[in-house]
Amino acid sequence: MDNVWAPWRMTYIAPQIPTSQECIFCALPAAHRDEEHYILYRGEHCFMMLNLYPYNPGHLMIAPYQHVHSIEKLESATLAELMSQAQIALRALRSTMQPDGFNMGINEGKVAGAGFDGHAHLHIVPRWNGDTNFMPVLADVKVIPEHLDTTYRKMKQALDTLANQ
């Protein structure tokens, strides 16, 4: 058996989210430690953060500050900002990571794959031609080639630039 030496992966394994039953989409923005919690952007009704367990580099989430289980419970201003932030996220991801496409989605309920099913949020996952290889298929292992800190710095700079335009 071959061993892959990747001590930087401990940041993915070590607990970084509240260990209580707190909702991460409520607790993390309320802590006002944006860099520590990878919060990239704050709006009036929604915020954007990197996923701690990404499918690909740049995998981010946009969530309303309002704690609701479904987007059907959101006010129209919050829904509009959710989509506006999605546009901003796509621009920032295109400029920093040059993906070939995106997966975007909302998982409502545990049965639909929601890790936090009580708080609606939108996932945006950048995709590249060839980003699927034998590792997930044969070894049930996903290799993330970029550290979250690096992705955060690149995305934060791009988002700050876009916000000032």
Query: Which among 28, 8, 39 has a CA at the least distance from the CA of 116?
Result: 28
Catalytic residue among 45, 121, 123, 147: 121
The answer to whether residue 37 is catalytic is no
DSSP 74-135: S-HHHHHHHHHHHHHHHHHHHHHH--SEEEEE---SGGGT-SSTTS--EEEEEE-TT---HI
What single letter denotes the amino acid at residue 77? A
Catalytic residue set:
121
